[in-house]
Amino acid sequence: MVHFDESTPLLLPVANTAISRTSQHEREERGSGIRTSLSDGIRSTFPFLTWLPKYNMDWFKGDMVAGITAGVVVIPQGMAYARLAHLPPEYGLYSSFVGVLIYWLFATSKDVTIGPVAVVSTLIGGIITKAAPLPEGVTALDVAGALALASGLLVSLMGVLKMGWIVEYIPLPVTASFLTGSAISIAVGQLPTLLGLTKEERGDARSALDILVTVFQNFTTIRADTVFGITALLLLYLIRFVLEFLAKRNDRYQKHLFFLATLRTILTIALFTIISFYLTTCTSISLSTLGHVPSGLPPLSFPKISTPLLDTILPSLPAVALVLIIEHISIAKSFGRIHSYTVRPSQELLAIGVTNILGSFIGAYPSTGSFSRTAIKSKAGVRTPLSGLFTAVVVLGACFWCTKVFAFIPTAVMAAVIIHAVGDMIFSGPAVKLFDWWGWSRLEAAIFLAGVGVTVVRDVEVGIYFGAVASLVLLLYSIASARGKTQLVLPEVEANPEHADFVCQLPVTYSYPNASGTVEGFARDIKRATSSPVAVVKGKWETEGSSSRAGLPALRSVTIDMSEVGDQIDLTGRQALFDFRAEIESWSGREVEWRVRTQNGVARW
């Protein structure tokens, strides 16, 4: 059934006439329509034109605190991740600066922070390593810059073509497999540096397994680097766990303890840098440090492009673009659900594409949304995407005034920072849910394990391509397993002036390609028809007005009708239902009764 409301455009046939006369009034209306369409297009491309005129001091304070906090975190992370990409540390700063400087102009997410991330950096480093020896006249910086430009152009084109839907075809186990496998590979890859192994002792091991074998065979001597690396790693975790423990015991000081926890990386680096400065200048103790870091920003220049360089990067370009897209969109949509605002995936593709294109002109390498820094900004109280400018100022200040200090940062400490940063991807990520996944869908759990294994045994790029093939296999399997007529029954509100009860019927083919769109439709209909005492907060950046829709009925219950689906829901679809429940409970602001209807009857959820 098709429903029309007052906003539904109707296309009516117009009879042809031999002579068409257009009045001045008609021409004015046509011109007005063109101007309106152009204005809507500009506002769609540059979303800040909608919320910036409403900017106020409350937003400014929230953005400043969150932006500066993210800046303090991204400086050490950016330099550390540049080392993963086999690039000088300053190029991590350049990438961090451009990411936050440009993104806010195109952003539909107030929380996301663009910059260097561990997985992309490892992927770039692997591309450079596999291409060695590089063609004559081609350097690692050339490869990184060309990849930033090429991936930016590709992702921007996908954004212009409104291809944001592509992320719906990457199921949760596949995404989780290469992210978890990458995290393990990254952590293992940093062990030689953490333990202070020399270049000769490291050999040419590339895969995680080969590196582990090399470490066990050659780690026979405890050096100053070893002490620095292990102590720094233990200190990072100690500070984190102590502050988290205190925060749980002291609600009054939770915010202060949170900010202290976000500073643990920069404080740890500062401590060991001071010790390093003393040891390298006043004693004969040998210690590996970052060395000279140039001050300022490099001059603007067009990325070097040549036939040998294109031959080097083109085979890996799809993998780079895919990681940029998956990481960024999944993070943006996740925080959009948490804070009840809408993220437009195609616009986000344009945002990261343009950011990487412009970044390639000042030496930046491919960057995308960072989960850790996005989470920090969100918890710090970010109000609008403009917070990126405050982060940019912090990074720019580091580029000009802190580089002499950076020269004394121990490389073993940077390895500890990297291992600490990716630790949550291993110990707090999907691997923790493996037993739950195995009980729900053994096929998808097996694909997750296989993806992790391929990534660890081979490399990140192979793991990504394995994931792409696995996505296709899962899609074909879910389609082949579906039976019966596909029908989606939109939820309807019962006739009750005070309360509303919804029934959300899942389609027969409910699976990872359509899971997100299905639950988003449920959520949209519920929000349109119910009141919310907490939905519209003071100064919300992405909404017009401040009405709480108090005249509408309150949500009382939601029933998920799974009678047509049975037990064939995949992990992505299952997670989408949990996200839907969390979003609606946040919107409602009150206790909602949840039920599940199956072929065996109705049960409480």
Q: Within a 10 A sphere around the Cβ of 441, how many other Cβ atoms?
A: 21
Of the pLDDT bands very low, low, confident and very high (cuts 50, 70, 90), residue 346 is very high
Burial of 543 (0-12, 13-18, 19+ CB in 10 A): middle
Domain ranges of the chain: 56-226+286-471, 499-536+548-604
Q: Give the C-alpha separation, 182 to 163, whole Å.
A: 26
Query: Backbone dihedral region of 137: left (phi > 0), alpha (psi from -120 to 50 degrees) or beta?
Result: left
Choose among 590, 596, 323, 554: nearest CA to 461.
323
Higher-scoring residue by pLDDT: 598, 499: 598
Lowest-confidence range among 100-104, 268-272, 388-392, 578-582? 578-582
Element (H, E) at 214: helix 208-218
CB under 8 Å to 332, separation ≥6 — which residues? Answer: 108, 109, 111, 112, 343, 345, 348, 369
Looking at the structure, give the CATH architecture of the domain made up of residues 499-536+548-604. Answer: 2-Layer Sandwich (3.30)
Of the pLDDT bands very low, low, confident and very high (cuts 50, 70, 90), residue 264 is very high
Task: Write the pLDDT tens digit of every residue in 461-519.
Answer: 888 888 888 888 877 777 655 543 333 344 454 454 577 888 888 888 888 888 888 88
The residues pairing with 369 across neighbouring beta strands, listed in sequence order, are 114
Q: What is the DSSP letter of 498?
A: S
> Which tokens belong to 287?
């210690």
Choose among 480, 372, 492, 389: nearest CA to 428.
372
CB under 8 Å to 310, separation ≥6 — which residues? Answer: 146
Lowest-confidence range among 54-63, 258-267, 429-438, 567-576? 429-438
Does residue 392 have a pLDDT over 90? yes
Task: Write the pLDDT tens digit of every residue in 413-438.
Answer: 999 999 999 988 888 767 677 888 88
The number of angstroms, rounded, from the C-alpha of 147 to the middle of its chain's C-alpha atoms is: 19
Task: Write the pLDDT tens digit of every residue in 83-141.
Answer: 999 999 999 999 999 999 999 999 999 999 999 999 999 999 999 988 888 888 899 99
Predicted local distance difference test score (pLDDT) of residue 374: 94
Choose among 579, 562, 563, 570: nearest CA to 475.
570
Predicted local distance difference test score (pLDDT) of residue 34: 57
